[in-house]
Amino acid sequence: MPVTGWKLDRASREFLVDIFPPRWRDLVADHVTLDARASRRDLPPPQADAAVIGHADDGEGLEALVVAIDGRTKRPDGSVCHITWSLDRDKGRRAAESNVLLTERGWRPLAAPIAIKLIPARF
């Protein structure tokens, strides 16, 4: 099933890695999902203003960055817009667990938003 969202621009990714060195062994830092259950006919979303506004780490192998898309953090499915930042696959962690981390455990806001460039995509 295709996914729609935005890929993280390479320069933005490198910039964020300098600011948030990955805590866990596997750096993901790839994309922001808009619709995890898109149809094959769904187009990528439009270009959007994006900023990292928060951080979460469960201390057990999963780290995520919260992203505001055009000023909003909620996806249409009610989950939080985010970039799965790092995880430990050897501990069985998966990127999809970021949704649970952010909705059930919350996240810490940053002192100031960090503007990033995202590229509309289907993946």
Supply the range of the domain harboring residue 15. Answer: 4-122
Domain count, the chain: 1
| pLDDT > 80? residue 1 | no
Looking at 1-123, which runs of residues are DSSP E strands? 4-8, 26-27, 31-35, 50-57, 62-69, 82-87, 108-116, 118-122
Mention every residue, 6+ apart, whose C-beta is less than 8 A from residue 17: 27, 29
Q: Residues 91-106: pLDDT tens digits?
A: 999 999 999 999 999 9
| pLDDT > 80? residue 118 | yes
Predicted pLDDT at 5: 98
pTM score of the predicted model: 0.96
Q: Residues 66-97: pLDDT tens digits?
A: 999 999 999 999 999 999 999 999 999 999 99
In which band, very low, low, confident or very high, does the pLDDT at 2 lie, cut at 50, 70 and 90?
confident
